[in-house]
């Protein structure tokens, strides 16, 4: 009887151990039905630590938060319990039934997948008119406004759109990112650099607000009529104070994710007047000066001079062409070198554009460069204005005399010149391959090729034996194989990160994976031990300089921070270069 009891207890313990050792990887959602104006939380949970986690695409959602990672360890009655979770906060893009596809992770060399989860998205749900509701408080205290400098501009007149985020003094905003960017169809557009922009205080809707300029764009309408400016939308994390206080009496806050939009705007663009429009008008709109100058007027034949056609001022400098220079046909002229020195400010484009011609006279004499006219539409007077350069005379002092009557012929640059056409058959008579053969051939027997074919297989036998032995030793080196695998993964993900430059989320996920796999290879630790304190302790213990360790940890901070703040492509390139350099330095210093 006692033997049966022991056997039963042994089977119970064995089954419990097998169940506890079973790997679980599943997806959980905070709710299965929600309104399109609500948020969904998705948790991917596992009971065994793994590597190379890949979430689904979330194509029908906007990721407003995450991934947030949490790990927990516990011991109950001598049994170890482990849990690791990746959490995402999602905003649905459409109504209807949406399926969240499978996520994958690698655990002990095996790939595990979650089951797809389906949620039902309904139309916007009404929220209770509760002044203490955090979402209502966020709606009432955060606003995105688009301010337009002019709603009724002329065609090709500069219009500045300034997007301001207004936040009341009662709440805070921890971070924001652009959710949808305006495409500015039918406009030439350029964003203004906002480095150094400060938060300012103002009165808005009769209350005290703070505001920050989040984007400023200069637009030049390219057609007349009613043109729509698409809205800019931001995803925000809003910190709303509650009525609760902590142990020290400070007000506790709660975070809520919110999307704000500036709304679409409409401009009524006026066409340029047809009355009085000159025939040579090329589309210049603004306030300009025009000059035609030469580097010298007296020179000898075969010497060169520079003729400079320049427009300076304020207006659509990048959107029109300079008038062409015409010269006497006795002067040889080359295609002009076009240069621009233009700055785009809040008021529009300012600067200069230049066509620089190189002219070489061939004969002695005096050659006039005719007057050149430049026409533009002046916005102040709303009329067309023409500026004339005046005639210039080039005096060739010394050179051969031109006996033809072509001195006075005027030609536009490039006129009368023909392109040389190359004939692919002009060297057809030259045979490129001779295909020569020796008169007397040597026998194969006792030749170098004969002895090589005979001896090489014999020499390959010891090489094959050495190769097989090395392969067996390498296969038996379990620790070394893990290190080499992690090292390959680090190089692989660094390559993925380089390819993903410009795509913030994909870039920083790949970069973080590369750093983690590198640490696992060098420090021989598992993913669950990759805390910053543990990493710093181990690197310093292995002889890595403290400055290099600090650089490595700062890259990990950038990977985490990138999930919540906007990063430019320049910042991504800097982080990639810094990661590659830091890994190289650690390789040299680590013992």
**Nearest C-alpha neighbor of 323 from the set 294, 347, 357:** 357
- State residue 124's pLDDT score: 77
Average pLDDT over residues 401-427: 49
Average pLDDT over residues 507-522: 79
148 in the same domain as 116: no
Average pLDDT over residues 33-39: 82
153 in the same domain as 78: no
Q: Is the pLDDT of residue 409 over 70?
A: no
230 in the same domain as 155: yes
143 in the same domain as 101: no
Instruction: Decide if 157 is inside a domain.
Output: yes
Confidence band of 321 (pLDDT split at 50, 70, 90): very high
What is the rounded CA–CA span in Å between residue 585 and residue 551? Answer: 11
Instruction: Decide if 52 is inside a domain.
Output: yes
What is the rounded CA–CA span in Å between residue 8 and residue 5? Answer: 5
**Nearest C-alpha neighbor of 282 from the set 398, 153, 132, 384:** 384
Instruction: Decide if 519 is inside a domain.
Output: yes
pTM for the structure as a whole: 0.51
184 in the same domain as 95: no
Are the beta carbons of 207 and 144 closer than 8 angstroms? no
Average pLDDT over residues 265-272: 93
237 in the same domain as 191: yes
Percent of the chain with pLDDT over 70: 81
- 335: burial class by Cβ within 10 Å (0-12, 13-18, 19+)? exposed
CB atoms under 10 Å from CB of 374, counted, come to 24
- State residue 153's pLDDT score: 95
Q: Is the pLDDT of residue 35 over 70?
A: yes
Q: Which of 122, 145, 162 is the last residue of a domain?
A: 122
Q: Is the pLDDT of residue 461 over 80?
A: yes
Contacts of 294 (CB under 8 A, 6+ apart): 305, 306, 307, 308, 359, 369, 392, 394
Q: Is the pLDDT of residue 376 over 90?
A: yes
Question: Could you report the per-residue pLDDT of 88-143, keeping only the tens digit for each?
Answer: 878 888 889 999 999 999 888 889 999 999 999 988 776 544 455 677 777 788 89
Quick one: which H or E segment has residue 581? helix 569-589
- State residue 154's pLDDT score: 95
309 in the same domain as 236: no
Instruction: Decide if 310 is inside a domain.
Output: yes
Confidence band of 160 (pLDDT split at 50, 70, 90): very high
DSSP 154: B
The number of domains in the chain is 4
Instruction: Decide if 453 is inside a domain.
Output: no
Contacts of 457 (CB under 8 A, 6+ apart): none
Confidence band of 447 (pLDDT split at 50, 70, 90): confident
Average pLDDT over residues 197-209: 86
290 in the same domain as 175: no
User: What is the four-CA torsion angle of 219, 222, 226, 230, rounded to 10 degrees?
Assistant: -40
Residue 78 belongs to domain with CATH number: 2.60.40.10
Backbone dihedral region of 206: left (phi > 0), alpha (psi from -120 to 50 degrees) or beta? left
Average pLDDT over residues 308-324: 94
- 483: burial class by Cβ within 10 Å (0-12, 13-18, 19+)? middle
- State residue 584's pLDDT score: 77
Backbone angles phi, psi at 333, to 5 degrees: -125, 145
Q: Is the pLDDT of residue 547 over 90?
A: no
Q: Is the pLDDT of residue 415 over 90?
A: no
- State residue 19's pLDDT score: 40
Confidence band of 248 (pLDDT split at 50, 70, 90): low
Confidence band of 379 (pLDDT split at 50, 70, 90): very high
Q: Is the pLDDT of residue 418 over 50?
A: no
Q: Which of 206, 239, 269 is the last residue of a domain?
A: 269
CA 587 to chain CA mean position, Å:
30
Average pLDDT, the chain: 80
32 in the same domain as 118: yes
Buried b (16+ CB within 10 A) or exposed e, 241-265: beeeeeeeeeeebeebbbbbebeeb
Q: Give the domain extent around 580.
A: 478-589
Q: Is the pLDDT of residue 529 over 70?
A: no
Instruction: Decide if 415 is inside a domain.
Output: no
319 in the same domain as 339: yes
Query: In angstroms, what CA-CA distances link 289 with 116, 158, 308, 337, 386?
Result: 66, 18, 14, 20, 10
- 91: burial class by Cβ within 10 Å (0-12, 13-18, 19+)? buried
Residue 579 belongs to domain with CATH number: 1.20.120.330
Instruction: Decide if 511 is inside a domain.
Output: yes
- State residue 570's pLDDT score: 67
- State residue 137's pLDDT score: 79
259 in the same domain as 139: yes
Q: Is the pLDDT of residue 419 over 50?
A: no
Q: Is the pLDDT of residue 147 over 90?
A: yes
What is the rounded CA–CA span in Å between residue 133 and residue 138? Answer: 9
Q: Is the pLDDT of residue 13 over 50?
A: no
- Sheet containing 110-113: give its strands across: 51-54, 104-107, 110-113
- 473: burial class by Cβ within 10 Å (0-12, 13-18, 19+)? exposed
Average pLDDT over residues 356-361: 92
**380-384, 393-397, 489-493, 507-511: least confident range:** 489-493
The 3-class secondary structure across 237-266, one letter per residue, is EEEEEEEEECCCCCEEEEEEEEEEECCCEE
Q: Is the pLDDT of residue 526 over 80?
A: no
Q: Is the pLDDT of residue 36 over 90?
A: no
**Nearest C-alpha neighbor of 492 from the set 473, 506, 511:** 511
321 in the same domain as 373: yes
- State residue 164's pLDDT score: 93
Instruction: Decide if 459 is inside a domain.
Output: no
CA 226 to chain CA mean position, Å:
32
């Amino acid at each position: 009887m006692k033997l049966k009891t022991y056997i039963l207890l042994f089977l119970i313990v064995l089954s419990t151990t097998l169940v506890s050792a079973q790997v679980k990887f599943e997806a959980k959602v905070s709710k299965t039905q929600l309104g399109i104006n609500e948020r969904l939380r998705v948790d991917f949970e596992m009971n065994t630590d793994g590597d190379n986690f890949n979430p689904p695409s979330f194509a029908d959602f906007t990721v407003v938060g995450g991934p947030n990672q949490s790990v927990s360890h516990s011991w109950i009655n001598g049994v170890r319990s482990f849990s690791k979770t990746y959490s995402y906060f999602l905003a649905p893009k459409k109504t209807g039934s949406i399926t969240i596809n499978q996520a994958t992770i690698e655990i002990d060399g095996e790939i595990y997948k979650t089951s797809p989860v389906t949620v039902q998205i309904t139309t916007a749900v009404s929220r209770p008119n509760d002044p203490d509701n955090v979402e209502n408080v966020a709606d009432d205290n955060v606003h995105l406004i688009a301010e337009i400098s002019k709603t009724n501009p002329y065609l090709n007149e500069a219009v500045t759109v300034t997007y301001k985020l207004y936040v009341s003094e009662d709440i805070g905003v921890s971070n924001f990112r652009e959710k949808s960017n305006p495409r500015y169809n039918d406009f030439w557009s350029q964003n203004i650099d906002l480095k150094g922009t400060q938060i300012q205080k103002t009165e808005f809707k009769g209350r005290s607000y703070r505001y920050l300029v989040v984007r400023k764009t200069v637009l030049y309408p390219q057609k007349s009529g009613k043109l729509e400016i698409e809205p800019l939308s931001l995803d925000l994390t809003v910190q709303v104070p509650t009525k609760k206080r902590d142990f020290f009496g400070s007000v506790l806050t709660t975070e809520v994710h919110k999307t704000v939009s500036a709304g679409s705007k409409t401009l009524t663009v006026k066409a340029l007047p047809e009355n009085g429009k000159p025939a040579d008008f090329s589309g210049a709109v603004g306030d300009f000066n025009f000059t035609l100058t030469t580097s010298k007027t007296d020179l000898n034949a075969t010497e060169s001079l520079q003729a400079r056609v320049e427009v300076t001022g304020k207006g659509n400098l990048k959107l029109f062409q300079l008038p062409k220079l015409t010269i006497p046909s006795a002067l040889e002229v080359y295609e002009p070198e076009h240069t621009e020195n233009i700055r785009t400010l809040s008021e529009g484009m300012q600067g200069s554009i230049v066509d620089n011609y190189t002219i070489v006279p061939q004969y002695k004499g005096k050659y006039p460069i005719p007057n050149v006219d430049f026409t533009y539409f002046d916005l102040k007077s709303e009329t067309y204005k023409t500026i004339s350069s005046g005639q210039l005379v080039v005096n060739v002092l010394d050179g051969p005399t031109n006996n033809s009557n072509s001195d006075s012929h005027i030609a536009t640059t490039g006129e009368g010149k023909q392109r040389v056409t190359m004939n692919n058959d002009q060297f057809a008579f030259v045979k490129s391959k001779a295909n020569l053969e020796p008169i007397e051939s040597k026998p194969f027997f006792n030749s170098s090729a004969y002895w090589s074919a005979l001896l090489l297989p014999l020499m390959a036998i010891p090489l094959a034996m050495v190769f097989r032995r090395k392969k067996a030793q390498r296969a038996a080196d379990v620790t070394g194989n893990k290190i080499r695998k992690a090292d390959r993964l680090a190089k692989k993900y660094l390559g993925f990160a380089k390819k993903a430059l410009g795509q913030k989320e994909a870039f920083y996920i790949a970069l973080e994976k590369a750093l983690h796999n590198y640490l696992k290879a060098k420090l021989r630790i598992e993913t669950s031990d990759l805390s910053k304190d543990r990493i710093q302790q181990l690197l310093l213990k292995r002889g890595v300089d403290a400055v290099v360790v600090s650089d490595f940890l700062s890259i990990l901070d950038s990977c985490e921070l990138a999930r919540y703040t906007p990063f430019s492509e320049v910042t991504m390139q800097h982080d990639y270069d810094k990661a590659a350099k830091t890994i190289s330095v650690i390789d040299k210093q680590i013992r």
